[in-house]
Chain A
């Protein structure tokens, strides 16, 4: 072929995946929904990292956010409300060759799936978990979520919700063996992408809370933050989320935070001085449960049969 060496063989060139290779079904989220931006960031990440679609698995629960897997061309598991994480852990358990992403909502993760969220953080199995937090139950049409601000009205609390919300970051930081806890926003593509890229590179369970706009039920919720970036506190550090100078310039309110400092991370999680974005905490050497679950995956059939015979010997009379 013109321009190619004679000894060129087809297989020697790995396939290059384009953005389109990761495009699944047409996204059916409302226009202006923050989920669209997250989808784009994830598809870009897959392309930049050249993740083979057949080796990539998106797991979700139920909710608007949990429609995510349908819109990426990769293997997907759109399961049950609240139960994405046990499934994702099961996928990961014996398949270290797969890239696992989880998309979950604030109801999915912080209400019905709370037990799994806490334990998945502790298992610290390698995967990227995106909590798309719109402060509301979107799919079921505007009910109070555990992250809804106190006093916000919904169909279940028309007079305003009664209690202070859960702080998913603070809760995550409180769990033993947490290894990567970050926060970002759907409307800043550069920071969103940088956070997801860092999460993907993290050798463990990377939990990313994404503040996500729901114009349909929570219109204007994050508007003042968007219009006035000074309400956001950008956490910076060489070990944190790297963004370039142009992005940094958008945030006048910045603070260097060493993500190995758990006490400071907890203080920042409760910060009254702007909504922090960036990396709260990371610990690359936290124990990984998938180091255990992967044991024995290469066991030969002969070994399996011998193991069984040995067991039967024990019971033989």
Chain B
């Protein structure tokens, strides 16, 4: 979206201008752009978007991509539900969310655009470039549907341009279905003044990685050239998104790749998993390259076995990780309780999707917070962390591994489908040897020392590892004393629970209070966690520009919570969370006092005794800044009318 209305008008009119004969067209400078490529599934739109996005990042732009994924692997062609594709948001400044409505959409057919309209992804003035192939379809129904759609789009205020994607691609390949995407990358490079050679290099790398021959690369290069040449000749709109050069080396990847590399950086040796969307791709990255760092990926028979295997490896002194999503977390729950009870270090990554049950398998939700914090039978305290960016996806893996070992505990890292699939820029991590797990201790265990020599202050203890002479003990999930002997006396369990709980109080004292974004005190504080941070901060920026005194914090630690929250909360007239999980809207409620709050709000209300409000939605997609902005504005109006 163009922030200033003048830029928007200028862009719109540029797009509306008659297509001139070839020649230099002056480029219009804009601070950022949101481009989408939508298609039937299997037409390579995502690959195209990733290449184009990487080119933008390489040219120094901030980047955030969002995958548009249909529920089925092969949905029917030309169907609304089958829309598959990608959004690429790039800008002069760093980009940390998917933004609002698209500025330009390239569509391989007109039907998939309807689903984008349903999703609120377009605005009046969005430029639609639609493949004109369907206007000449042999099937009269298709031709009719196409014409109808063009009318609908026109009436809705979109700017429609028919372009010969299929026909031009067909000039170069007999299988245009597979070549259209590259032609479109060429076209976008022309429109946005991107360096075509950079795109060519990305294409080459991509196909080399897929072990494709030179002929394939050459053909795709030709398609890039053709798309570019066509755009130069036929489209008069040119945009420029200026770059601020990065001050440090940058990498571009999605959040799951960042988690996979973070696991390598942490010196983790075993990744034990069972495939589940949207977590699996993290394991794919590891399966391809983990062995270079001496690690293995174990694909277990189910999630229970996956976590059991990881726990076994960890008991034997090896650093282990299990990666899953909500349904898998549910299955792992008993073992996670064991890991708490028997104090087995373990890193658990939950890439959240919509729930409960199978829910929204490919879509984002932040619905696993409470089940992560409280989800085991009995009192099962553990560390729960949530990265809010790709950089944190990487670095939290190192932190998680260290905390797991120092505190002898499972550490949950809650990512989500948004982070998992979005490609973004992050500073290239400065790899450090100190991140790797230390070598396994096989020295003799101190004579007579207990297996759980809990420090009375901190509850922290060292663990014996098989192979350590004199350390033999029997780990058990039964209540036990410090020698791991089964607790037959009533006082033992009370003390052991106390020791296990104390660890998290000790960790909390080591945590920093959260940083406040925006106003340090004022009318409204917005509290979020995880992938919503970028969108929340954008919304806060916009509202502050109107003079409202609004701040936000993003919690990285959810268990234990970061310290100082109640003090921070009391500096604002209102505190609310913004989350992607379910809550009752106040207006929907028959009786007051029965509202079901969003998950972080529950947690904060219980721990701070502050009347924390919430606004949350479960649209199966990231929250656009504009939606958040509107919610905050409505709360601010509420705050102004209330006197306290």
A interface with B by C-beta (< 8 Å): 24-25, 52-55, 57-59, 62, 69-70, 73-80, 83, 85-95, 97-98, 115-116, 118-119, 292-293, 295-299, 301, 303-305, 307-312, 315-317
Contacts and interface: CB of A to CB of B under 8 A. Distances in A.
Given A76-B474, A78-B474, A307-B292, A317 B338 contact: no
A115 B310 CA distance: 17
A161 B367 CA distance: 43
B606 interface: no
A95 B304 contact: no
The 3 closest A-B pairs by CB, nearest first: A90-B312, A299-B294, A86-B308
Contacts of B253: 315
A308 B261 contact: yes
B232 to A, nearest CB: 25
A52 B467 CA distance: 9
A305 B57 contact: no
Given A87-B309, A93-B312, A308-B261, A293 B298 contact: yes
A317 B269 contact: no
Contacts of A303: 292-294
A54 B310 CA distance: 21
A116 B316 contact: no
Given A295-B291, A307-B293, A54 B429 contact: no
Contact of B468 (A54, A297, A310): A54
Contacts of A78: 474-478
A296 B301 contact: no
Interface stretch (B26-34, B142-150, B244-252, B414-422): B244-252
B496 to A, nearest CB: 16
Interface in B316-359: 316-318, 320, 334-335, 338
Interface in B270-315: 270, 272, 289, 291-296, 298, 300-302, 304-315
A312 to B, nearest CB: 6
B620 interface: no
27 contacts: A54-B470, A58-B474, A76-B475, A79-B311, A79-B477, A80-B308, A80-B334, A83-B304, A83-B305, A86-B305, A87-B312, A93-B318, A94-B313, A95-B317, A98-B466, A116-B305, A295-B294, A296-B269, A296-B296, A301-B436, A304-B293, A305-B431, A307-B264, A307-B292, A307-B293, A312-B429, A315-B257
B279 to A, nearest CB: 19
Nearest to B296: A293
A81 B429 CA distance: 42
A75 B475 CA distance: 8
B471 interface: yes
A316 B316 CA distance: 36
A77 B305 contact: no
A94 B318 contact: yes
A317 B252 contact: yes
B21 interface: no
Contacts of B269: 94, 296-297
B285 to A, nearest CB: 8
A277 B212 CA distance: 57
Contacts of B154: none
Contacts of B429: 312
B486 interface: yes
Contact of A86 (B264, B309, B433, B473): B309
Given A98-B316, A98-B466, A317-B54, A307 B289 contact: yes
A55 B469 CA distance: 8
Contacts of A115: 301-302, 305
Nearest to A95: B316
Contact of A311 (B261, B304, B468, B478): B261
Interface in B219-263: 249-253, 257, 261
A25 B486 CA distance: 10
A305 to B, nearest CB: 6
Contacts of B54: 317
B184 interface: no
Contacts of A312: 251, 261, 428-429, 431
Contacts of B311: 79, 87, 90
B369 to A, nearest CB: 25
A187 B486 CA distance: 29
Nearest to A86: B308
Nearest to B474: A76
B267 interface: yes
Interface string B460-486: 000010111111111111100000011
Contacts of B291: 295-296
Nearest to B318: A94
B200 interface: no
Contacts of A58: 474
A4 to B, nearest CB: 24
A2 B472 CA distance: 34
Given A76-B472, A305-B431, 9 more contacts: A52-B469, A77-B312, A83-B335, A91-B313, A93-B296, A315-B253, A315-B257, A315-B261, A317-B250
Interface string B417-460: 00000000100110101001000000000000000000000000
B456 to A, nearest CB: 26
B471 A79 contact: no
Contact of B294 (A52, A90, A297): A297
A82 to B, nearest CB: 8
A304 B429 CA distance: 15
A119 B305 contact: yes
A77 B476 CA distance: 6
A33 to B, nearest CB: 18
A258 B416 CA distance: 55
B257 to A, nearest CB: 7
A90 B270 contact: yes
Contacts of B314: 90
Contacts of A59: 312
A54 B267 contact: no
A305 B432 CA distance: 8
B533 interface: no
A97 B313 CA distance: 13
A94 B316 contact: yes
Contacts of B300: 86, 119
A73 B485 CA distance: 13
Interface string B564-589: 00000000000000000000000000
A72 to B, nearest CB: 8
Nearest to B293: A307
A93 B270 contact: yes
A316 B307 CA distance: 33
Contacts of B261: 308, 311-312, 315
B472 A316 contact: no
B191 interface: no
B472 A304 contact: no
B320 A90 contact: yes
A308 B435 CA distance: 12
Contacts of B464: 75
A181 to B, nearest CB: 19
Contacts of B293: 296, 299, 303-304, 307-308
A79 B315 CA distance: 11
Nearest to B252: A317
A116 B317 CA distance: 22
Contact of B472 (A53, A91, A93): A53
Contact of B295 (A80, A118, A296): A296
Contact of B467 (A55, A86, A116, A292): A55
